[in-house]
C-alpha cells in the first residue's frame, strides 16, 4: 500500500477509512505507516496507512455534489 501511495504523490485522491470516514486531498508523502495529504483548506491530514480501506484518484475534484450557501 505504501508503494502505491508513493506513486500518487502530487495527485488528488479520496481515502476511505471505513463506513463513513473519508478524506480528500493532495498526496504529500507516504512513509513510516503514515499518509500525509493536504486537504482543500490547506490543512495537513495524517492517516494511518493500516486503517485505509480504499483509495481512489480524483478525476474531477472541482465537481462535488452538495449545497451552495
**Mean pLDDT for the stretch of residues 13-17:** 94
User: Taking 90 as the threshold, does the pLDDT of residue 12 lie above it?
Assistant: yes
* The pLDDT value given to residue 25: 94
Residue 14 within any structural domain of the chain: yes
pLDDT at position 55 is 95
Cell readout for 42 is 490547506
16-32 residue pLDDT tens: 998 788 999 999 999 99
Residue 61: the pLDDT is 53
Helical ranges in 1-69 per DSSP H: 2-6
6 in Cβ contact with 30 (< 8 Å): yes
For the chain, the average pLDDT equals: 88
Q: How many domains does the chain have?
A: 1
55: CB partners within 8 A, 6+ apart: 4, 5, 8, 13, 14, 15, 16
pTM score, whole prediction: 0.81
Question: Do the domain assignments include residue 65?
Answer: no
Query: Does residue 68 lie in a domain region?
Result: no
Instruction: Assess if residue 48 is contained within a domain.
Output: yes
CATH of the domain at 12: 2.30.30.520
Alpha carbon distance 45, 5 (integer Å):
14
Amino acid at each position: 500500500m505504501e508503494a502505491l501511495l508513493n506513486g500518487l504523490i502530487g495527485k488528488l485522491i479520496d481515502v476511505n477509512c471505513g463506513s463513513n470516514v473519508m478524506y480528500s486531498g493532495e498526496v504529500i508523502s507516504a512513509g513510516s505507516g503514515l499518509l500525509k495529504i493536504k486537504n482543500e483548506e490547506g490543512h495537513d491530514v495524517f492517516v494511518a496507512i493500516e486503517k485505509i480501506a480504499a483509495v481512489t484518484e480524483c478525476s474531477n475534484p472541482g465537481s462535488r455534489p452538495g449545497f451552495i450557501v
